[in-house]
Amino acid sequence: MPQDAYTLRHIVKELSSVFVGGKISRINQPEKDWLSLLIYTTKGTIKLDICLSAKYCRISAAERRESPNPKVAPNFCMLLRKHLQNAQITAISQIGFERVVAFDFLCFSEFETVNMRLYLEIMGKYSNAVLTKDGIIVGAMKVASLENNAKRITMSGARYTLPEKQDKVDPFDRAALGELFAKRQGDAAKFIADRVAGIALTTAEDMVAFYGENITAADVCEYVTGEDLSPCVVSVSGQPYDFKARCASGDVSPYPTLLKAQAAYYDYCVSAKMFADKKRRLSSALSSAVKKAEKWLGQIENKLSECASMEDVKLKGELITSNIYAVQRGDKVLEAVNYYDPDCGIVRIDLDARLTPAQNAQKYYKKYAKLKRTAINLNEQKTELCKRLDYLKSIENALDSADDMPDLAGIEKELTDLSLIPDTDKKSKKTKDAPLPFRQYEHDGFIVLCGRNNVQNDRLVKSLSEDDVWLHAKSYHSCHVGIISDGRQPTDDAIKFAAEICAYYSEARQSDKTAIDYTRRKFVKKPSGANAGFVTYTQQKTILVTPDVHSEARKDNE
């Protein structure tokens, strides 16, 4: 939601209770519109995130975890480090009833102690951060100058002015609010959002839901000035959709503070965006590799079709040799009886008049030998390319069925190993990350494991005991699934359950019914030198099931 002035008012109060009196320990700028401040407070070291992007603009207290930072800090980050490093936060306030928050600092240096103010304008795509001293701009994250014909200057040395106010009524002005409501018409929520300052449509809808369609000016004023909060995150179809200062109707999850509700909502939003962006990047690299391999395969097929005539070329050489007595130097054509043909058909053979009969025969023999060598090499390339294309398709299936960041981590490693994406891992190559856990389920007293990608599929096969049950989609790429038997015979219901999961994480997940092969682990073999995830198996049985993710039985996400 756009953080309206009403919501921001309560966020500022909670920020003040947490951060006022604290000292800035570290300042980072992980992205062009994201500031991260580590602050020492009486309650411990707390991270303050300031996001000024168009979609996720906010000021929030976040978990203390490392943020990815550029090698060279941006100019605005360096400016803040110069002036605000070790500064003490003396006040946090909302400017009027606007979406502007001021952080006041007491800054210390070797020569003086000065007061500075950081204005944070939480205004969607117009969001900005401006550092000032005595009302004069020291620097801004997004600079607007006279050269750009800007209505409002935010360049260094200019006097800071607040963003232009909208032509709306201040909800704290009871008289003006009363006059406005005397002329009220149309939908109540839209009327409030359009005509009352600092109120977003979602907040206005909550007001109307609380007071009814006949809401009055006094009700609006009471709602805005009231301190009766019930912070929550609102969900739609099981997914977080918004966060509220006051609990709304519907599917809501209550939180003890508005800062915690805000953090939970934006953690979900940012994680979902990161997942979607990373999946899109991996999908793009993988799709490009698949198209390249398919194009290469098409070129090989075309060349092989050219080699299909090599037996005819060989025949012409043999016919010239067998009829060499009938050929004279300077002849351009030889019409010979094809003694390989039961009907003894006539074959017309083009000759080079400059060559002797023997040289013409050798010319066809050499051409045949060249086509034969080419065909052998092309068939070898085709075999290897088909294996690579099949491997890429298996990665594509794993990517399509990925539903969280750990799923993408293994796929990213595979694509890095194939040199399809650059290796951005800055860790030492000697450092080994802990292996990601399998998807884990429990059903009918049995543990069911499911691989996330080809590398995990290999690890899953190795981790199973000989008598455990192994499953894979028949004739489709799919994850590998294992049932831990612990010496027992898995029930038919447990096999059906595992098969439904295997079908869901396969290329056939959209099908009504999918055939799943299952066998004992001892009958599953991995050929030497095979790609990750590739195995052969025997003694299998087949079950027909409907794909089902069975998220209710999943244990590794608990």
What's phi and psi for 107, nearest 5 deg?
-100, 140
pLDDT at residue number 555: 87
Question: Per-residue confidence at 51, pLDDT binned at 50, 70, 90?
Answer: very high
What is the C-alpha to C-alpha distance for residues 518 and 467, in angstroms, rounded to an integer? 12
- What is the structure's pLDDT at 67? 65
Domain boundaries, the chain: 5-148, 174-262, 274-424, 439-553
User: Which residue's structure tokens are 């000032």?
Assistant: 132
- Cα distances from 387 to residues 390, 405, 418, 477, in angstroms, run 5, 27, 13, 13
pLDDT tens-digit map of 500-529 = 999 999 999 999 999 999 999 999 999 998
Question: Can you list the pairs that 380-384 forms with residues at least 24 positions away whose Cβ atoms lie under 8 Å?
Answer: 381/300, 382/297, 382/300, 382/301, 382/304
| pLDDT for residue 430 | 46
- How many other CB atoms are found less than 10 A from the CB of residue 397? 23
Give tens-digit pLDDT for 365-395: 999 999 999 999 999 999 999 999 999 999 9
Place of tokens 């399809």: 420
Mean pLDDT (the chain, rounded): 90
What average pLDDT score do residues 124-146 get?
Answer: 91
User: Quick one: pLDDT at residue 550?
Assistant: 94
User: Each residue of 99-129: pLDDT tens digit?
Assistant: 999 999 999 887 789 999 999 999 988 999 9
- At residue 188 the predicted structure's pLDDT band, cuts being 50, 70 and 90, is very high
Tokens 């000697």 found at = 430
CB atoms within 10 A of CB 304: 15
Token pair of 289 as six digits: 């590799």
Alpha-carbon span 29 to 454, nearest angstrom: 36
The pTM of the full predicted model, rounded to 2 decimals, is 0.77
Average pLDDT rounded to a whole number, residues 28-53? 92
Q: Hey, what are 212's tokens?
A: 């009814």
Look at residue 163 and tell me whether its pLDDT is greater than 50.
yes
Contacts 24+ apart (CB under 8 A), 524-527: 524/461, 524/470, 526/458, 526/461
Length of the chain: 558
- The CATH-assigned architecture of domain 5-148 is Roll (2.30)
pLDDT in tens, 411-442: 998 999 889 998 765 554 444 556 778 999 99
SS3 155: coil
